[in-house]
Amino acid sequence: MASSAPDRLTPRAREIVTAAREVLESEGLAALTMRNVAARLGIRAPSLYKHFPDKDALEAAIISDGFVEMAEEFEGAGDGGAALLVDLAAAYRAFARAHPHLYRLMTDQELRRDLLVPGVEERAALPVYLAAGENADRARAAWAFAHGMTMLELTGRFPPGADVEAAWDTGLRAFTAR
């Protein structure tokens, strides 16, 4: 269930984050500019600075939302009991494919942790740790596999005829064999 924590943003700041998210997802990271975000709201770029100190802060708000949404997907995976690594991998891949530009913003660069809503990154990581048998090394290795597959998929690095599903299956079988 959506536990709906109180929003840390003012109503107008929330509208700005929503607009920024729309720009990002529909036009890509390069199009995520203060001008474009403002234009989507029918205002001018300088007005945004009354609500966010700079662009980094706005991006961090998008990323914090992304981690919460990813965590919710993880927490709803393998419904009923504890999620298995295969369930989380499916949820992870689905999230990345549904929001490719958001995924890259969240994972493919240095993370300004000092600007994030506290705890959101950890919340998204916890289900993976648990599914890996509370083995941090195994959780990190599995995460790396999923991240690598996702990025290679998103950037179109596999050859045209490649069976991406089979590569996912092969990797997951390796990580879940005992």
Per the CB < 8 A criterion, the answer to whether 24 and 16 are in contact is no
47 binds, among a copy of itself, DNA, none (CB under 5 to 8 A by kind): DNA
Taking the complex as a whole, how short is the minimal distance between the CB of residue 106 and a copy of itself, in angstroms? 10
**Measured over all CA atoms, what is the biggest interatomic distance in the chain, rounded to whole angstroms?**
57
Which listed residue (51, 93, 123, 140) binds DNA by CB under 7 A?
51
Per the CB < 8 A criterion, the answer to whether 121 and 113 are in contact is yes
How far apart (Å, rounded) are the C-alpha atoms in residues 86 and 84? 5
DSSP type of residue 110: -
Does 146 bind a copy of itself (CB under 8 A)? Our answer is: yes
Of 101, 75, 100, residue with least CA distance to 88: 75
Residue 3 sits at φ, ψ, to 5 deg, of: -80, -5
150: its two tokens: 């996702």
Give the CA angle between residues 120, 124, 129 to the nearest 5°: 130
Does 112 bind DNA (CB under 7 A)? Our answer is: no
Q: Which is nearer to a copy of itself, 9 or 151 (CB)?
A: 151
Taking the complex as a whole, how short is the minimal distance between the CB of residue 126 and a copy of itself, in angstroms? 13
Coil, strand, or helix at residue 134? coil
Does 122 bind DNA (CB under 7 A)? Our answer is: no
Does 97 bind DNA (CB under 7 A)? Our answer is: no
Which listed residue (14, 40, 55, 138) binds DNA by CB under 7 A?
55
Does 130 bind a copy of itself (CB under 8 A)? Our answer is: no
Residue 5, by phi and psi: left (phi above 0), alpha (psi -120 to 50) or beta?
beta
Q: Which stretch binds DNA (CB under 7 A): 50-58, 71-79, 91-99, 131-139?
A: 50-58
Taking the complex as a whole, how short is the minimal distance between the CB of residue 74 and DNA, in angstroms? 31
Contacting residues toward DNA, per CB under 7 A: 10-12, 31-36, 38, 41-47, 49-51, 53-56
Contacting residues toward a copy of itself, per CB under 8 A: 107-111, 135-138, 140-149, 151-152, 155-158, 162-164, 166-171, 174-175, 177
